[in-house]
Amino acid sequence: MRPVITLSLNPYDRFLLSHREQEPVLKQAMVQYPNARTFTVVTANAKDVFSFIPNHLTRFIPESAIQLFTMDYPRETDPLIALEREAEKLRNNIPNHIVLSDAITYILCHQTRISQFHDVTTAIELAKEYTPEFVTLMTYHYGAITKQFRARLAPYLNRERKQFKSLGVTMDNDTDVVITLSGKPLESENVIWEWLRLTPESADDLSREKCQEKRKILCELSNAVARLSRDITYRTKCVHPASYVYCCQQIEKEIHYEAGDHL
């Protein structure tokens, strides 16, 4: 099972949301370094705190810190007004790879692996242990159930493939239904970057207009994946035949018997 991916703001968006709160930090830097010409704004250890590094100390900025932008020392400008101006400039200059990475992360927040047949495969394993005479019949039902699932899924998958031909669905471990992109499980950023025919490095070479086009495509892909995931989960449920239900009941009976529930 892949780890749960949660959304978190990138440092550029965090600064845009909290730039007013950085005023005391900037004022402190101005007092501490009155002769500085510029400040480079970098991420600090705390989530929504940024450091203002004077130009003569930028060589000491650690490699792990993200440098957002460089601003002039606000000598004749109110620090808050200076921050407002820098935030406005930054809003239009967030690196392309950050913009696209955020959209990619949102796609991966959708459930792209659904344990659709876990109950059936578990029943088969229990049959092997408690009721071997039902294994062949249960295996037959597994094949029938997965076939029925594919038939019910087909119209929903075809609907999404009209826009995204690279979208698909595959089975994994006989239990999981996995949404794929270009034939690969949609479970990592690399799969989406490859589909875009980009890398984070090459994304920064795109024009702003081209980046926004790519972002729009990713947003539409996210909507398609969300719909397909819901369809797999809620609209493809199979009605198990009576013989399958009977086998499950017999397995459960044998489990209780061996546990001594009859005593």
Alpha-carbon distance of 138 to 101, in angstroms, equals 44
Q: Which phi and psi (to 5°) does residue 71 adopt?
A: -125, 155
Average pLDDT score over residue span 212-241: 91
Average pLDDT score over residue span 77-90: 95
State which amino acid sits at residue 132.
P
Q: Which phi and psi (to 5°) does residue 62 adopt?
A: -65, 150
Which alpha helices (DSSP H) does the chain contain, by range? 11-18, 23-32, 79-91, 96-108, 118-130, 135-161, 189-196, 200-203, 208-234, 242-258
Q: For residue 104, with 0-12 CB atoms within 10 Å meaning exposed, 13-18 middle and 19 or more buried, which class applies?
A: buried
Alpha-carbon distance of 18 to 36, in angstroms, equals 24
Tokens of 254: 């044998």
Tokens of 34: 């009155």
Higher pLDDT, 179 or 124: 179
Average pLDDT score over residue span 197-223: 95
Which residues are CB-contacts of 238 (< 8 A; sequence separation ≥ 6)?
A: 145, 148, 149, 152
Q: Which phi and psi (to 5°) does residue 39 adopt?
A: -125, 135
Tokens of 88: 């406005």
Residue 121: pLDDT band with limits 50, 70, 90: confident
Which pLDDT tens digit goes with each residue over 169-196?
999 888 889 999 999 999 999 999 999 9
Q: Which phi and psi (to 5°) does residue 94 adopt?
A: -70, 130
Per-residue confidence (pLDDT) for residue 51, from 0 to 100? 94
| Tokens 């460089």 -> residue | 70
Asked if residue 187 lies in contact with residue 114, where contact means CB atoms within 8 angstroms, the answer is no
Per-residue confidence (pLDDT) for residue 260, from 0 to 100? 60
